[in-house]
Chains A and B, each alone.
Chain A
Amino acid sequence: MKIKTFSIGGIHPDENKLTHEVPTQSAPLPTQAIFPLSQHIGAPAKPVVKKGDFVKVGTLIAEAGGFVSAPIYSSVSGIVLKIDTAIDATGYRKPAIFINVEGDEWEPSIDRTEKLELVKDHPELTPEEIVNRIKLGGVTGMGGAGFPTFIKLCPPPKAKAECVIINAVECEPYITADYRLMMEHSDEILVGLELLMKAAKVTRGYIGIEINKPAAIKLLKQKCNEVFCNSDYKVEVVPLQQRYPQGGEKQLVDAVIGRQVPAPPAIPVNVGAIVQNVGTAYAVYEAVMKHKPLIERYTTVTGKKLSKPANYLVRIGTPMLQLIDLCGGMPEDDNKVLAGGPMMGKALTSTEVPICKGTNAVTILSGDEARRRTPAPCIRCAKCVSACPMGLEPYLLAKLSAFKEWERAERNDIVSCIECGSCQFTCPAHRPLLDNIRLGKSTVMGIIKSRQIK
C-alpha cells in the first residue's frame, strides 16, 4: 500500500532525533517561575493576582483577555513577586507574572491520581461541558502556534466538522516530546481524542504519525483496536511518509483525508477537519477528567553539542537555562538557542525565557550550524518553487517584498505562505527568502485588513 503524504512540495531535513529513546523525566521545580501573559494567539490574559499574593499549583493567575484568549494558571506554589515585563521567545519585553517558589502545594480540586478516567464513566460530560472545561483549563495548541483549543471545537456557522485529526507527525528535526508522550501516555491520549470527538460532535478520528516512529504507530494501532472496537467512534491510525512540513495543519489534512484547505481565510474545518496536536489531546484529558489546567508540558531539550539531551515534563514558567543546565550546560561555542526546532523555532536573545504552553523543545545549535552562510545571487534554479508546500513562488515573493511591490505580492498569494522555511532550506544560494517573504506577508495582511475596515 502506498504510504500517504501531502501533495505539493516538501523537503526532507536530517532527523537528528537524539532523544528518541530517552524516557521522560520530571524536571525539578524552578526557584522562580515566569508566566508571560501572551502564551497563545489572541488577546493577552489579564492578571487576577497582585504582588504578595500566595498561590498554589493550579491557582488562576490571569483570566482570558477576550474571546480569542486563554486563562493562565500557576504551575508552582509560592508568592507573587511582581507583575513586570520579561523577554519572551519573540525577543520583546512583554508583561509577565513572576512567582517565587515555596514548596509544592496543589489546589485540592486537582485529581493527582494515576487512575485512567474513561468517557463512558462520566455521563455528565456533554459536548458543551467538555468545551467549557477545555476553555477553563487554559488549554491551547501544544504544537507551537498556541491557538486556544476550545475555539477550534466551535466551528463558524457555515462549516461542519466531520472528523478530528490528531497531529502526531512531529516532522521538525530534533523534537521527540510528542513521541515520548505517545509512548508513555497512549491511553490518556485516546481518551483525550474521544473527548475531542464528542465535543466536536463527530464520530471519525484519525491519528497521523510519520513512519519514522514505528513503535508509536504499532502501540496506538493496538490501543485503538482495544478502546474503540465496540464503540460508535471510528478511529484510524494513519502512517505517513517522512516529509516536512507534514505537521502543518493544511498539509496534514491533505495527507490524511486528501482534502486541500483553500487559501486564507479558510481554515481546516471548512473542509470538515479539526486538527489537534497529540499534546493537546493529552492536555484535554487532564483538563476535563482530572480538573488539572495546563500547567506542565512535555519538552525536548536537545542539541548535538549538549552532553545529555533529554525529554522533560516541565512546569510552565521554568526558565530554559535551568533545563539546559540539567542537560550538561551550554556548550563552549557560539550558540543559538531555539524555542522549538530548527525549521520553525524562534532564536532566543536570552536563556532566561521561560517554557510556555507551546514550547515543545529547546534546541541548541552550535558552531557552524548556528550561523547563516553568506547569500549569493539567485541562480533561478527553481528549487524553492518545487519545495514550496503551498504551491507558491518563493523567489518571486521574496523579490517583490524586497522591492516593496505589495500589490503584486498580494496577487501572487503571499498571504498563503505558512512560513515553513522549506524554500530557504533548499536554496543553493543561501538566500534569506523567508525573511523577505515574512515582511511582505505581514505588510500585505495589514493592507488587506485596513481595506476591510474602509
Chain B
Amino acid sequence: MKQLIVSLSPHAHGNDSVERNMYGVIIALIPALLVSFVYFGIGSIVVCLSSVIACVFFEWFIAKYVMGRQTCSILDGSAALTGLLLGMNLPSNLPIWIVIIGALFAIGVAKMTFGGLGNNIFNPALVGRCVLLVAFPAQMTSWPQPGQLWQYTDAVTGATPLSIMKQAIQTGDAAVLDQLPDAFHLLLGNHSIGGGAGTIGEICGLALLLGLAFMLWRRIITWHIPVSIIATVFLFSTVMHIINPIYADPTTVILSGGLLLGAIFMATDYVTSPMTARGQLVYGVCIGLLTIVIRNWGSYPEGMSFAILIMNAFTPLINNYMKPKRFGEEIKK
C-alpha cells in the first residue's frame, strides 16, 4: 500500500502567503503611483521604474553571487516593493545614477547585510532615501513643480508645503503660511497652484488613503500604526498651532509632506515594526511626536523618515516590553 503522509497538526492552512502581502501593498500603491504619473509625468515613471529594477537586480545579484544562496527570493515581491517605496520617496527629477545608489544602499546595505528578508532592523527604502538625502542634499531637495509631463531632470522646481512651513517658523511670520495650498488641494493633489511640489508618492493624500483602505480590507496591516501616528500628529500640531500661529494648522500638517505616505506605507513595514498591538501604538505615537519635533525644530523640513528610522531601532526594545495581554491575565468578574 502507498505510504501515508505524516506531519504534525495543524494540517490546514489559511492560504496566506508572503507574496500575497507584498503584492497586496504594491497594489495599494497603484492609485498614488497613477496620480504621480499624471502630476509629474515622465520623471516619476523613470525614477520609480529604475528604482524597482535596481532593487530587484541587487537582491538577485547579492543573494546569488555574494551570499551564495541557491534559492532566489526576488519573486516574493519584497525587493520590488522596496524599490517602489524608495522611488516614491524621491523627487521626480533625480538622475538615474543617484536612484541606483539609493537602491544599492536600500537593498545591499540595509537589507542583505542583515541576512535578507525578515532580518533587517531598518526600513530599507528609508535607509536608501536618507543616505541620498545626506549624500546628495542639493539634488534631493530640489522639487519639480507638478504639471510638467515631459520634463525630467530639467523640470522647473518649486517650494514644497513643508519648506513654506519651515520658512514661517524661521521668520516667525505667520503670513508666510498663506502661500500654502488649502487642505482640499492637498488632499486631491495640488498641481495647478504654487507650493505643491514634493516627492513622487506624497502628492495626493486621497490616493494614499485609498491604499490604506485596501490594505485594511485585505487585512495586510492593522489600523494601529497609521491611526496612532496621524492622531498624535493631529493633537500635537493642534496644540502648537494654538500656542503660536506660526505653526501650521493640523489638517495641513497631516496632508503635507510624506506624513501619510510614511504613516500608511513606511511605518507599517512588517519587518521593522513592533509585533503587538500595544507595541504598535507606542511606536506610532513616538513616530508622530518625533516627526513634529523634527519638522518644527530640526534643521530638515521633513522629519517622517528620520522618525521612522529612529523608532525602527527601538522596535526590539518595544517588543520586549509590550507583551500582548495573556488569556486569563485579569480574571473578569
Contacts and interface: CB of A to CB of B under 8 A. Distances in A.
Interface of A: 8, 11, 13-14, 91, 173, 250, 254, 258-263, 266, 271, 330, 334-338, 340, 342-351, 365, 369-373, 376-383, 385-386, 388-393, 395-396, 412-413, 416, 419-422, 424-430, 432, 434-435, 438
Given A347-B5, A349-B6, A435-B8, A380 B118 contact: yes
A8 B9 CA distance: 21
Contacts of A377: 116-119
Max chain B CB contacts within 10 Å: which of A382, A386, A432? A382
13 contacts: A8-B325, A260-B328, A261-B327, A271-B331, A336-B5, A336-B6, A342-B11, A346-B9, A347-B4, A347-B6, A370-B11, A379-B271, A382-B280
A262 B331 CA distance: 7
B5 A260 contact: no
Given A14-B12, A350-B4, 13 more contacts: A8-B327, A13-B14, A250-B327, A262-B331, A334-B5, A338-B9, A369-B11, A382-B270, A383-B16, A385-B324, A389-B327, A419-B9, A427-B16
Nearest to A343: B10
Contacts of B5: 334-336, 347, 370-371
A434 B8 contact: yes
A13 B17 CA distance: 15
Contacts of B326: 263, 390-392, 413, 416
Contacts of B7: 336, 347, 372
Given A259-B332, A263-B326, A334-B5, A425 B277 contact: no
Contacts of B271: 379-380
B251 interface: no
B75 to A, nearest CB: 11
Interface of B: 2, 4-14, 16-18, 20-21, 73, 76, 78, 116-119, 222, 270-277, 280, 319, 323-333
Contacts of A382: 270, 273-276, 280
A51 B306 CA distance: 79
B4 A336 contact: yes
A338 B5 CA distance: 10
Contacts of A435: 8
A258 B331 CA distance: 10
| Interface class of chain B by DSSP | loop
Q: Tell me what chain A mostly uses at the interface: helix, strand, loop, or mixed.
A: loop
Nearest to A395: B275
Contacts of A380: 118, 270-273, 275
A421 B2 CA distance: 28
Given A266-B328, A336-B11, A385 B18 contact: no
Contacts of A416: 326-328
A421 B9 CA distance: 7
Contacts of A263: 326-329
Contacts of A371: 5
A377 B274 CA distance: 17
Contacts of B327: 8, 250, 254, 260-261, 263, 389-391, 416
Contacts of A434: 8-10
Contacts of A338: 9, 11
5 interchain residue pairs of minimum CB distance? A421-B10, A377-B118, A342-B12, A260-B328, A262-B328
B6 A348 contact: yes
A343 B274 CA distance: 28
B6 A391 contact: no
B116 A337 contact: no
B2 to A, nearest CB: 7
Contact of B12 (A173, A381, A383): A173
A428 B20 contact: yes
B14 A259 contact: no
A234 to B, nearest CB: 20
A385 to B, nearest CB: 5
A378 B331 contact: no
Nearest to A422: B10
Contacts of A344: 9-10
Contact of A343 (B12, B17, B18, B323): B12
B118 A425 contact: no
A426 B16 contact: yes
A385 B273 CA distance: 13
Contacts of A419: 9
Contacts of A388: 324
B4 A335 contact: yes
Nearest to B329: A391
Contacts of A347: 4-9, 11
Contacts of A438: 8
A173 B273 CA distance: 33
Contacts of A334: 2, 5
A439 B276 CA distance: 24
B106 to A, nearest CB: 17
B147 to A, nearest CB: 39
Contacts of B18: 376, 379, 428-429
A14 B15 CA distance: 11
A34 to B, nearest CB: 18
B11 A343 contact: yes
B69 to A, nearest CB: 11
A393 B326 CA distance: 9
Contacts of B275: 380, 382, 385, 393, 395-396
Contacts of B11: 336, 338, 342-343, 345, 347, 365, 369-370
Contact of B9 (A258, A345, A348, A378): A345
A381 B270 contact: yes
A391 B325 contact: yes
B12 A425 contact: yes
Nearest to A351: B4
Nearest to B330: A260
B331 A348 contact: no
A420 B6 CA distance: 18
A379 B275 CA distance: 11
A448 to B, nearest CB: 17
Contacts of B276: 382, 385, 393
A336 B7 CA distance: 9
Given A347-B11, A376-B18, A427-B16, A393 B4 contact: no
A382 B276 CA distance: 7
Contacts of A427: 13, 16
Determine which residue in B13, B118, B331 has the highest number of CB atoms from chain A within 10 A of its CB, and name it: B13
A158 B158 CA distance: 76
Contacts of B20: 428
Q: Pick from B6, B117, B222, B272 the residue with the most CB of A within 10 Å.
A: B6
Contacts of B333: 259
Nearest to B270: A381
Nearest to B8: A435
Contacts of B118: 377-380, 429
B331 A424 contact: no
A241 B12 CA distance: 20
